[in-house]
Structure 1
Amino acid sequence: MSGLSTWLIVGLALLLAWPVQNTVLAAFAFWRPRPDVHNGPLPQLRFWIVIPALDEERVVAATVRAALALDSPQTPVRVLVVDDASTDSTPEILAAIDHPRLHVLRRALPDARRGKGEALNAAYRWIRGVAVGEGAERETVVGVIDGDGRGEPGMLREVAGFFRRRDVGAVQCRVRIHNRDRLLGLVQDMEFSCIADASQSLRDVLGSVDLGGNGQFVRLSDLMRFGDAPWSRCLVEDLELGLRVHLAGMRIRYASNAVITQQAVVDPRRLIRQRTRWGQGNLQCLRYLPKLIASPAIRTFALLDFAYYLLAPWLLVPASIAVAGIAGLSAAGWMTGTSFGGVVATGADLPLAAAAWLATLAVPGLLWGLVHRLRLRDEPLRRALLAGFAYPLFLLLGMAATWRALGRHLLRRNAWAKTERLHEETPSPVLAG
């Protein structure tokens, strides 16, 4: 078999695998099993919500108020904001919020500005000291809400339900986007609220749920297993903590009905920078794969899923070359009328081949747009389908970010880049899930 034939087979297999995978995942989004969390009284838990804040003047006031509003008799809440040496008006905004359940931990240089993981570790140590002093470390749950995050009222009841079982060490909430008035924001809402939601629900069945940076909740007593620094300086500290939790033999559950919203990044360049950091963090976490393979706590299907998303950034580069080669060869054949030995359709076969290409590229996104409309019902069908049409272009941005992440990883450029916020004129709406 020639080298060209090999690349053609690889490229075509990847093109066909993508719509098949998305179709199966979309079907699971409709017919997934109901989580087993709604029976029996809620456990007596105390929630600490940590909000890491580095120059968050545009959003932090609304985030703090939304976090404080999650308090209820069944789910008492205290909020700890970690001001990571902000240089904008974040300290003054926090000082103006007078509330007995709000605490502010101000970190000064040189300890501050070393990444989100270090800020979370400082908060954890502070909360641990308080909880141990109160004798409440076993009942305390530490949650993380980003500076732009908004929790849905009642979400903590859903989270607490999962902690009825002692083998559950952490819970990840469902994420949605609240500035989806722009198309790029709506595509990200489709990505988080539909695609990631279905993936996490499937992982909940497989036992491989991963923690996200926003809306993660972990038992304090389980965090204490990891010493003074549960979160690392990895560029995706949440993913690494999730892997450590799994390796320690604890379950992570996915709370699809506990919704937290965040801002989308609506500038393409900033989006590429954000996704570069995420991709590079995935690359850094690949070192955990041998431990996962050797661990008796990891089930076979969970291991396959871990391997898939840890290896995905490494595999995307040769895969994108193969697909680009197929696209380039097809374009050259269609423009010149050359079939390259029958590989490229010409003449009467050309319309059918073009339709197959378009269907392969467009169907997965349109399918997710339909899922968004039918499952969430808060966007008109035309906007949901428009987001579906834009989804392949959105993936091209992700592909560019992966290439950039690989380059930075190989060059050992590991600087942590914070996601910039947009100014919010009014408090963001809390969305039903």
Structure 2
Amino acid sequence: MNVFVKVAVTISGLFYLYFLLDVILVNHYREPVKKYVKGPQSYRLFLVIPVLNEEHIIAGTISHLSAELVQLPASIHAQIVAVDDNSSDHSLLELAQSTSPYLQVLHRAGNDRLGKGAVLNTAVDYIQRTLAKHSDSRKTIIGVLDADAFMTCHDLTQAVAHFERDHDLTMLQTGVSIYNRGNWLTHMQNFEFMGVNNATQQLRNRLGQGIASGNGQFVRLDLALKNPWGNSLLEDLEFTIRTWLSGGKTVFDHTLIVQQEGVETLRPFFKQRVRWCQGAIQCIRYLPALWRSDHPNRFQKIDTTVWVMMPFTGCIMPVTGIVALLVLISRSLYDWNFGWHHLAIITIVTITLLVCVLSANIYLRNYANVQQRVKLLPALLQSLSFQGYLLIIGLTPYVAIYRQLRGRTGWTKTSHGTQNSRRTYAHLNKSY
């Protein structure tokens, strides 16, 4: 029993040190704010939107995006390609009734719902054979947006300009924010995306390369043709790894933001995170090829390995953490004057508070980079509250591993617009 306790305390201590080191690194390695000016070269931009039972939200998404596309410079010729994945609601009707001059509608009639990757490949195949048949595939950009997504004209222009200025760039991922911050859960999702996730991507940019996040992902058509999306439940990570293996360059731009709807209730949120976690498990099969490849650097290999193995380490950490905490508390109460255990508890609390302060600083910094003010006190309170949010996410690996072992790999889609929340987009300043 003593051996088990020592192992648990050791693992828990190493985890806290890793957690602290990670937060310190993302605070240190900051991406500078860069400006990209769209030049005179003509580019095609196709915003691909997978649609599956989105009748509550898709019409508004098309309308808002169309209002932004009309403001694009003349050197960007944009269209929206909405792919209905055989929806069982009135999504197709909503699309058919749209008056947007930018909209092209595809319907995957009779197809099994094979996930987002299959829908994206359908769109790419259609674009290549019809809309972009005579276009330069290097100057044709595919933008992947979810049915609840919104991007400003400025950010869309900057995304295309990035490809124009960097000829080696094959994939660009934007930052993500939540526009319906009406309750605790959606506030925490926004803190997650605009805080640590955003900063982690900046760290990857500095030491390796950025990773796709699905929504707000832009790729050159030639990459999408030679590297189609797979059927993993985390198709964005799978696509990124395969892009690296082919020698492609992937970048994260923290100054560009795609705004999306946060999940407002706990049950669908948990299902979403289980799907993401299970998708990471499915990407483990790429690790041997990743480590053999000369294209990704050592940081990319280590970072990706740590990420896809998190479902397994995530099953160990909570158990060892609880055991270590209970042992430290019980022994501190038993021998407060002479034991070292209470000092360990104080150290853990201090590290946790330090991480909260650093996380709040990251959140403030990332919002400042997109010219939005966030007050210090709310950021600190959200950072403290975020620890409870992490406890909820900490339960997902157990379910994800169970589902994978049972062969339950079906696509559990996140519902949008079901809470009738008001869609209010943040007005990001355009002067970076």
CA apart distance, 1:207? 2.8
CA–CA distance in 1 between the matches of 2:37 and 2:96?
41
Question: Which residue is 2:154 aligned to?
Answer: 154
Encode CA deviations 1:210-248: one digit per residue, 9 max, x unaligned: 11110001111111113xxx1111101111111111111
CA apart distance, 1:40? 7.7
Question: Which residue is 2:350 aligned to?
Answer: 359
CA apart distance, 1:314? 2.1
Question: Which residue is 2:428 aligned to?
Answer: 432
CA contact (8 A) 2:143 2:216 kept: yes
Encode CA deviations 1:172-228: one digit per residue, 9 max, x unaligned: 0111110113222111111111211111111112233111110001111111113xx
- 1:114-133 alignment runs, 5 A limit: 114-133=114-133
CA contact (8 A) 1:70 1:77 kept: no
CA contact (8 A) 1:150 1:430 kept: no
CA contact (8 A) 1:240 1:285 kept: yes
CA contact (8 A) 2:38 2:160 kept: no
CA contact (8 A) 1:150 1:428 kept: no
Question: Which residue is 1:344 aligned to?
Answer: 341
CA contact (8 A) 1:362 1:388 kept: no
CA–CA distance in 1 between the matches of 2:350 and 2:216?
36
Specify whether residues 16 and 147 from structure 1 end up closer, same or farther in structure 2 by C-alpha distance, changes over 3 A only.
same
Question: Which residue is 2:290 aligned to?
Answer: 292
RMSD, aligned α-carbons: 2.3
Specify whether residues 415 and 319 from structure 1 end up closer, same or farther in structure 2 by C-alpha distance, changes over 3 A only.
same
CA–CA distance in 1 between the matches of 2:114 and 2:107?
14
CA–CA distance in 1 between the matches of 2:274 and 2:366?
30
Question: Which residue is 2:224 aligned to?
Answer: 223
Give the aligned length. 418
CA contact (8 A) 1:365 1:389 kept: yes
Structure 1 counterpart of 2:322, one-letter code: A
Instruction: Tell me the secondary structure at the aligned position of residue 58 of structure 1.
Output: coil
CA apart distance, 1:375? 4.2
CA apart distance, 1:274? 0.6
Encode CA deviations 1:51-74: one digit per residue, 9 max, x unaligned: 111111221122112322342123
Question: Which residue is 1:97 aligned to?
Answer: 98
Counterpart of 2:251 (choices 233, 244, 253) is: 253
CA apart distance, 1:408? 1.2
CA–CA distance in 1 between the matches of 2:37 and 2:266?
45
Q: Does 1:175 align with 2:176?
A: yes
Counterpart of 1:418 (choices 413, 418, 432) is: 413
Question: Which residue is 1:144 aligned to?
Answer: 144
Instruction: Tell me the secondary structure at the aligned position of residue 134 of structure 1.
Output: coil
Percent same amino acid among aligned pairs?
27
Q: Does 1:394 align with 2:394?
A: no
Q: Could you tell me which runs of 5 or more consecutive residues in structure 1 were left unpaired when the two chains were aligned.
A: 346-351
Alignment TM-score, normalising by the size of structure 2: 0.90
Q: Does 1:315 align with 2:337?
A: no
CA–CA distance in 1 between the matches of 2:79 and 2:154?
15
Instruction: Tell me the secondary structure at the aligned position of residue 341 of structure 2.
Output: coil
Instruction: Tell me the secondary structure at the aligned position of residue 161 of structure 2.
Output: helix
CA apart distance, 1:321? 2.1
Q: Does 1:232 align with 2:233?
A: no
CA–CA distance in 1 between the matches of 2:424 and 2:76?
23
Structure 2 counterpart of 1:270, one-letter code: P
Counterpart of 1:408 (choices 403, 408, 430) is: 403
> Which range moved further: 148-157 or 213-222?
148-157
CA contact (8 A) 1:43 1:161 kept: no
CA–CA distance in 1 between the matches of 2:185 and 2:205?
28
CA–CA distance in 1 between the matches of 2:40 and 2:200?
27
CA contact (8 A) 1:145 1:214 kept: yes
CA contact (8 A) 1:74 1:157 kept: no
CA apart distance, 1:305? 1.8
CA contact (8 A) 1:15 1:323 kept: no
CA–CA distance in 2 between the matches of 1:253 and 1:282?
20
CA contact (8 A) 1:68 1:77 kept: no
Question: Which residue is 1:281 aligned to?
Answer: 279
Question: Which residue is 1:16 aligned to?
Answer: 17
Structure 2 counterpart of 1:32, one-letter code: E
CA apart distance, 1:327? 1.6
Specify whether residues 137 and 38 from structure 1 end up closer, same or farther in structure 2 by C-alpha distance, changes over 3 A only.
closer
CA–CA distance in 1 between the matches of 2:178 and 2:382?
13
Structure 1 counterpart of 2:119, one-letter code: A
CA–CA distance in 2 between the matches of 1:242 and 1:392?
29
CA apart distance, 1:107? 1.5
